Amino acid sequence: DIVMTQSPLSSPVTLGQTASISCKSSQSLVNSDGHTYLSWLQQRPGQPPRLLIYKISNRFSGVPDRFSGSGAGTDFTLKISRVEADDVGIYYCTQASQNPYTFGQGTKLEI
């Protein structure tokens, strides 16, 4: 299985500042079709996960442009600009390039 490793596991940030979360995979996430199925999820307290970013850098419907994803191969980053109070929660990276889909440990964003 592909292991997804996130850092940091906890990220205290100040309102209005930028938060950055790293995700590294144990092997390349480039699929045989040439795409990289790396996504980022947000889980607010008491809520199910919500898709933010798919295929490294594509924002899902309704996601503010304050959220951006980048990276390639095995190293990926989620950036949250102008952090708001509503951004509090746990952020997960996940890969769907190879079965079984796997998930990172989660990064807790705290204001």
Q: Which of 2, 13, 30, 51 binds another protein (CB under 8 A)?
A: 51
Sign, CA torsion 58/61/66/67? negative
Cis-peptide into 100, omega within 30 deg: yes
Instruction: List the beta bridge partners of residue 54.
Output: 58
Pick the piece of the chain touching another protein (CB under 8 A) from 11-19, 46-54, 69-77, 78-86. Answer: 46-54
Instruction: List the beta bridge partners of residue 7.
Output: 22
| Residue 22 within binding range of another protein, rule CB under 8 A | no
- Retrieve residue 18's tokens: 């930028």
| Residue 50 within binding range of another protein, rule CB under 8 A | yes
Positions in the binding site for another protein (CB under 8 A): 35, 37, 39, 41, 48-51, 54-55, 60, 92, 94, 96, 99-105
